[in-house]
Copies of this chain bind each other. A is one copy, B any other.
Amino acid sequence: MSAVVGCVTGFLTYETTKSVVVKSWSVGITNRVVQLVIITYFVGYVFLYEKAYQVSDTAIESSVITKVKGFGKLNDQVMDVADYIYPPQGAGMFCIMTRAILTDNQFQGRCAETDKKFACETDEDCAQHVGSVLSNGMMTGNCYKSSNESKGMCEIEGWCPAENDNVNVEPMDLKNFTIFIKNSIRFPLFNVTRGNFPPTMDIKNCTNNEKDPFCPIFRVEDVLKKIQRDWTQLAVKGGEIGINIEWQCNLDENIEKCVPKYSFSRLDAPFEKNKISKGYNFRYAKYFKTQNGTEYRTLHKVYAVRFDIMVTGKAGKFSLVPTVINIVAALTSIGMGTVLCDIILLNCLNGADRYKAKKFEEVIEDQTTQTVSPSPDSQLSLKPGMKSSCDSGAISLSMSD
Contact = CB atoms under 8 A, between A and B. Distances in A.
A170 to B, nearest CB: 16
B88 A282 contact: yes
A289 to B, nearest CB: 5
Contacts of A48: none
Interface string A292-332: 01000101100000101010100000000100000010011
Interface in A223-273: 240, 242, 244, 265, 267-273
A168 interface: no
A401 interface: yes
Interface in A169-204: 176-178, 180, 182, 184, 186, 188, 193-195, 197, 199-204
A43 interface: no
B201 A345 contact: no
A89 interface: yes
B360 A382 contact: no
A352 B366 CA distance: 10
Nearest to A401: B401
A60 to B, nearest CB: 10
B398 A398 contact: yes
A4 interface: no
Considering residues A18, A67, A363, which has the most beta carbons from chain B within 10 angstroms of its beta carbon?
A: A363
Contact of A16 (B267, B331, B342): B342
Contacts of A21: 13-15, 360-363, 386
A71 interface: yes
Contacts of A339: 331
Interface stretch (A29-37, A120-128, A147-155): A29-37
A16 to B, nearest CB: 5
A270 B195 contact: yes
Contacts of A396: 376
Interface string A65-104: 1010111010001101111001111110101000000001
Nearest to A291: B291
Contacts of A378: 399-400
A49 to B, nearest CB: 10
A333 interface: yes
B274 A364 contact: no
A224 to B, nearest CB: 17
A363 B374 contact: no
Contact of A184 (B136, B269, B349, B391): B269
Contacts of A12: 23-25, 28-29, 31-32
B13 A22 contact: yes
Contacts of A395: 376
Contacts of A373: 353, 388
Contacts of A77: 108
A51 interface: no
B15 A82 contact: no
B203 A277 contact: yes
Interface string A132-150: 0111111000000000000
A297 to B, nearest CB: 8
Given A182-B277, A351-B365, 6 more contacts: A15-B22, A23-B363, A78-B108, A193-B270, A354-B377, A358-B361
10 tightest A-B CB contacts, nearest first: A195-B270, A12-B28, A199-B273, A24-B365, A88-B284, A78-B158, A69-B133, A82-B285, A353-B374, A357-B374
28 contacts: A15-B31, A16-B20, A16-B338, A17-B20, A18-B359, A19-B359, A23-B364, A71-B138, A77-B108, A78-B159, A80-B158, A81-B283, A82-B300, A90-B282, A186-B265, A188-B312, A199-B273, A201-B274, A286-B287, A328-B336, A354-B363, A354-B371, A354-B377, A358-B363, A374-B400, A376-B395, A378-B400, A382-B399
